[in-house]
Structure 1
């Protein structure tokens, strides 16, 4: 039996959609701590939603080039389990600030890499050995993420795919093909399950999770 594909629903802002994502089988829930984003949420509001999340579902705080002191306050207030760095942070910065927040073992994190044309992933990925995983997203010259755009999945090196969280333009209609092509550890969706920018849609969340499971089951039957 193949390993099932994990799913993260990102940009959640309401109790209704937290419950919907959990009920549909999401493995992780993302909360955006980046004020310019239409999906942004305050750490206090996130804390109320994190309190609704049952055991074994991870909560993730998405940040973009954060100030370390401010980041520590966000984590303490919201209670998220791990961080997603989605800006121009260096490997040293991410590892250092996460270690400072939890001296015993370090707060886990993963890093988003935007697939800029010409990027050499084989050269880029080894330096992120401290990250729990690597999220690959579409590149946009003006936006750090959440573009709804797709990149060429063929550019994902095969030997790294077990650590890859695939994002960028995923929807209930194309996530099956994405999994079939890349075979990532996990997929991450935000805009692809929204009724409008920043507002999730329960039916689309359910359809996305169903499409992932359908592809996993199809692969098992082969």
Structure 2
């Protein structure tokens, strides 16, 4: 099971997360309490291994600005977390992760044809587009609708529910931000436990 740790703002946390087994690191460039300065993101990315995904999170940004930031910082993937049209995704030169707030099967159907490498299924919207720590009802969503898509599960994940989440949804990757924080700051112990449980749960699901 691949794991993305999102909302990273300092190199020590990023390096530690990768050391624990994180496959992707997310950098928020939209308005958020986890927004990272462009030069800081560039500094962090320069210290990460080449095989780790470096994902930039944007909300309703212009394609030209996304491309400019991605090139300067060294991003490998673009996460669109707003109301971006398919035409914007098609303009981008890097692989796209399209995030969507999931409430019911209608919201799943709305995104099934969006052009992207991954669909990120997030919880309900809160103050910000993501990172609100809210989960959707995994068991009452028909993910067969998205059978041809690679799925990233996000929203309300933490060490206490990650194994159940993976068992239920069986995504290609899981994404966590607030679920590995203590008092609004990334907690290395929580990151370590989350990654260990996420990666261990796949083995148990296969062998049952």
Say whether the fold is shared (TM-score over 0.5): yes
Aligned pair 1:22/2:18, yes or no? yes
CA distance in 2, matches of 1:19, 1:119: 39
Secondary structure of residue in 2 paired with 1:119 = helix
Q: Over aligned residue pairs, what C-alpha RMSD do you find?
A: 1.6
Q: Is the deviation greater in 16-25 or in 111-120?
A: 111-120
Aligned pair 1:216/2:202, yes or no? yes
Preserved contact between residue 101 and residue 121 of structure 2 (Cα < 8 Å): yes
Match of 1:101 in 2: none
Question: Aligned runs of 1:192-203 on 2, under 5 Å?
Answer: 192-197=179-184, 199-203=185-189
CA distance in 1, matches of 2:199, 2:33: 29
Q: CA deviation at 1:120?
A: 3.8
Gaps in structure 1 of 5+ consecutive residues: 99-105
Question: Aligned runs of 1:123-138 on 2, under 5 Å?
Answer: 124-128=110-114, 130-138=115-123
TM-score in terms of structure 2 length: 0.93
Aligned pair 1:205/2:200, yes or no? no
Q: CA deviation at 1:141?
A: 5.8
Aligned pair 1:182/2:169, yes or no? yes
Preserved contact between residue 22 and residue 195 of structure 2 (Cα < 8 Å): yes
Question: Aligned runs of 1:29-40 on 2, under 5 Å?
Answer: 29-34=25-30, 36-40=31-35
Match of 1:170 in 2: 157
